Amino acid sequence: MIESWRWYGDLDKISLSEISQTGAGSIVTALHEIPYGEVWPTQTIAARKSRIEAAGFDWTVVESLPIHESIKRGEGDLSPLFANYRQSMANLASQGIKTICYNFMPLLDWTRTDLAAPVAGGGTCLRFDAVKMCAFELHMLGRQDAAHDYPPDVLVKAGDWYQTSSESERSALLAAIMAGIPGAFERYDIAGLRGALLAYEGVGRDEIRANVKRFLNEVGPAAEDLGLRLAVHPDDPPRDILGLPRIVSDAEDLRWLFSAFDSPANGLTLCSGSLGANPENDVPALAEEFADRIYFAHLRNVAKEADGSFEEAAHLEGDTDMVALIRVLLAEQEHRKYAGHEDHLIPFRPDHGHVLLSDHSRELVSGYPLIGRLRGLAELRGVIRGVAGS
């Protein structure tokens, strides 16, 4: 497997020289500075690639080439946006970058309620707390339909949390939920989020499915012609958020997605943390079912709770059997190798990580510390070497 590391370019306080000391040989990045829907210029892609290669890395995966919200809503004349996306794909392919991770989550990317939940030994992790999320939706945002999305005990606890919380705690909750929006873009306040949600009124699960199918039919043939692989990232968390439907959360969703545009260009970013947050998902079994569509892997772990809460565990702890999952990925690599695929190796990265040691004293992108991810990479590297040699 190809050891990679997510890097946010000039938005990242972790330098390429520091990343080189982790042992990773590949960089996963994107042009986060370019607004959604605009073309990624070839010259800008080439400059980023040259910078990465000068530091001794390959640039193997784009994460992400974002999809404009109008496409997700199916709103207006989308021809220019689809044309821009195809052009960005062509520009990436011209520079030898052939794997594009993307997601179709409406409005928000990954969603957490706590960016620094304590873990044993003094570190911190990302956490999704169902009680806090319910309090945010129902009492801060005023989304009354949220009462139907949570069990009665969570509703009661959410009311208690809201009544006893301070303004600073509520502000921290809003900031945590907004932290999942990638890139250098303004986060919403409560009023702004309400306005953004209004634009999704009347857009349900069927509409989102129709819109992702349209997206794939618009850009998929170009991906085939360019030799590109589109790798959808699962919903994080794999449940509806803010009343917005999530459509890449389980095996049934993936079966539907791959049938909507049945092509090897239509693939999966296997994120064990996102899929693992759904109690119904057996992540190694999902990986085995969709092995031939896995073009990129995010390896991390979660510890789930009965009320729908979860927190990010250490990479070899939590609820997902990481050894079993890696066995599936290595077996798929061998299958591709014997089938004659030159690019049979699956790139992966240690996804997220606990904030540990000197991570606490530096500015970091939420979820992407240096030491915590280094620990995760070292652990995963050991499992991969052990399984491969067994």
Going by pLDDT thresholds of 50, 70 and 90, the confidence category of residue 184 is: very low
Q: Which residue has the tokens 């979660």?
A: 302
CA–CA gap between residue 115 and residue 172 (Å, rounded): 9
Average pLDDT over residues 51-68: 96
Residue 308 contacts residue 336 (beta carbons within 8 Å): no
357 against 179, higher pLDDT: 357
Q: H helices then E strands: how many in the chain?
A: 14, 12
CA–CA gap between residue 326 and residue 169 (Å, rounded): 39
Average pLDDT over residues 28-47: 96
Q: Which helix (H) or strand (E) holds 233?
A: none
| Nearest partner of 265 among 213, 218, 226, 228, judged by Cα | 228
User: What is the torsional sign of CA 293, 295, 300, 302?
Assistant: negative
pLDDT in tens, 122-177: 999 999 999 999 999 999 999 989 999 999 999 999 999 999 999 999 999 999 99
State residue 179's pLDDT score: 87
Average pLDDT over residues 103-122: 93
pLDDT in tens, 283-305: 999 999 999 999 999 999 999 99
All structural domains of the chain, each given as residue ranges with its CATH number in brackets, are 2-110+199-389 (3.20.20.150), 114-186 (no CATH)
Question: Could you list the active site residues?
Answer: 233, 271, 298, 351-352, 368
Q: What is the DSSP letter of 113?
A: S
Mean pLDDT score across all residues of the chain = 95
State residue 108's pLDDT score: 87
Q: What is the DSSP string of 122-186?
A: S-EEEEE-HHHHHHIIIIIS--GGGGGSS-HHHHHHHHHHHHH--HHHHHHHHHHHHTTS-SS-P
Going by pLDDT thresholds of 50, 70 and 90, the confidence category of residue 233 is: very high
Residue 257 contacts residue 220 (beta carbons within 8 Å): no
Q: Is 247 helix (H, G, I), strand (E, B) or coil?
A: coil
Average pLDDT over residues 184-199: 84
State residue 185's pLDDT score: 58
Whole-structure pTM value: 0.95
CA–CA gap between residue 317 and residue 123 (Å, rounded): 15
Which amino acid is residue 105, in one-letter code? Answer: M
Average pLDDT over residues 264-272: 98
Average pLDDT over residues 219-237: 97
